Amino acid sequence: MMNTSMKINEDFFYGVIISFFVYPLLGVIVAWRNSEPEQDGIFSKFKSLFTAGLWYSVLSAILFFTGITFSEDGINFSSYLFFGGAIFSLLMSIGSNIRTKYSYKRSFGDALAMSMGQLIIVLFVLLAVGAIVNKFSNKR
């Protein structure tokens, strides 16, 4: 006999966990592909990722983590303000990433993935710079 039983709960949770690992990678690919460099070359493409959408998403992350810090003692009015600001800032980031220099517009999904991908690229750059500074500071 064939075993055809499905474990819906386990399969669903595995899919959710895998999507948390795949989505950031897709966001980085979309951000890199949708960047609009002025010239050919990797540095021009990297520089074009620093748009207003990136700074709104950085502000969103800062507000979100500040809201988490304020809500450690319980949810209060200030944590609601920070969470609301984080959501508003994320929507501003998506709105900024939808607009382009050309006549077409990006879709909502591309703009959302681009916002998340820009954050991850900045995180990796900060980690690399921190590792380099740490390496040189330990040599003395």
Q: DSSP letter at 39?
A: S
What pTM did the predictor assign? Answer: 0.66
φ and ψ at 77, to 5 degrees?
Answer: -65, -40
pLDDT tens-digit profile, the chain (140 residues) = 555 555 666 667 777 777 777 777 777 777 777 777 666 777 777 777 777 888 898 888 888 888 888 888 787 888 889 999 999 998 998 888 888 777 667 788 888 888 888 777 777 777 888 889 888 887 66
**Identity of residue 103:** S
Residues whose CB is less than 8 angstroms from the CB of residue 53 and which lie 6 or more positions away in sequence, other chains included: 93, 94, 95, 96, 97, 111, 114, 115, 118
Taking a C-beta distance cutoff of 8 angstroms, is the pair 27, 116 a contact? yes
Q: How far apart are the first and last CA of the chain?
A: 69
Query: Where do the domains of the chain lie?
Result: 9-131
> Which of 78, 26, 88 is CA-nearest to residue 57?
88
